[in-house]
Chains A and B, each alone.
Chain A
Amino acid sequence: DTAVSQTPKYLVTQMGNDKSIKCEQNLGHDTMYWYKQDSKKFLKIMFSYNNKELIINETVPNRFSPKSPDKAHLNLHINSLELGDSAVYFCASSQGTVIPIQYFGAGTRLSVL
C-alpha cells in the first residue's frame, strides 16, 4: 500500500484554468505538507496542516488554497493558473516534531501551457 499518494501524477492544463491536486496518507500521521519543486530541483515548503489546522503558510500567491478535510487528506487547489506555476508539487506527511522525518508522495507534475 502506498503510504502517501497524490493524484493526478501528471496535469497538463491551459493558463487561466483552475485545478486541484489531492493527497492522502495512510500512515496515521498528524501533519501534512505541500511542497513545490522547480526545474532546478529547489524544494520549497508552501503549506502545512497539523490536525486540520494550518500551521505553515509561506509566501505563496493566494491563488493557491490548501484544504484539509481530515488528518489523512490535504488537497491543493490552484486558481487562474499561470505559466510560472509549472513545477512538480509534492505532498508529505510526518508525525509530530520530536522526530521530524517526512514521508513524500511521488509528486504531481503540473504543466501550464
Chain B
Amino acid sequence: SQQGEEDPQALSIQEGENATMNCSYKTSINNLQWYRQNSGRGLVHLILIRSNEREKHSGRLRVTLDTSKKSSSLLITASRAADTASYFCATDAKVNDYKLSFGAGTTVTVRA
C-alpha cells in the first residue's frame, strides 16, 4: 500500500517563484526522502531527512519534517524550467529496512 500521499497532485508556477509540496504518511518512519522524476526518466534522490531532524537544506531545496503530524514539505526556491518534473516522497519504516514506500507524486510545471 502507498505510505505517502503528496499534495497537491499537480502544481504550475512561473519561473522564479517558489514551489511547495507536501507529503503525509501513515505509520512511524525512520527516514523520509524526496526524489525527482523527469519525464521518461528514472527517479533521482534529492534529499533525506531522518526522523529526529526537523529541517534540512540542500541548495535551493528545503525539507521540513513534522513527525507529530506525520507530514513533510519540500520547498523549491527560485524555480527554473529545469525543475519541471514529478516529485515523490519515500519513507522507510524501520531501522535496517530496505523497503521504501513511495507516494503518488506531485507533478510540477515551471513556466518560462
Contacts and interface: CB of A to CB of B under 8 A. Distances in A.
Interface of A: 4, 31, 33, 40-45, 48, 50, 55-56, 90, 92, 94, 97, 99-107
A106 B43 CA distance: 8
Residues of B in contact with A, size category = 20 to 34
Nearest to B45: A101
Contacts of A90: 42-43
Contacts of B37: 41
Contacts of A97: 92, 95-98
B27 to A, nearest CB: 16
Contacts of A48: 98-99
A94 B98 contact: yes
Nearest to B2: A42
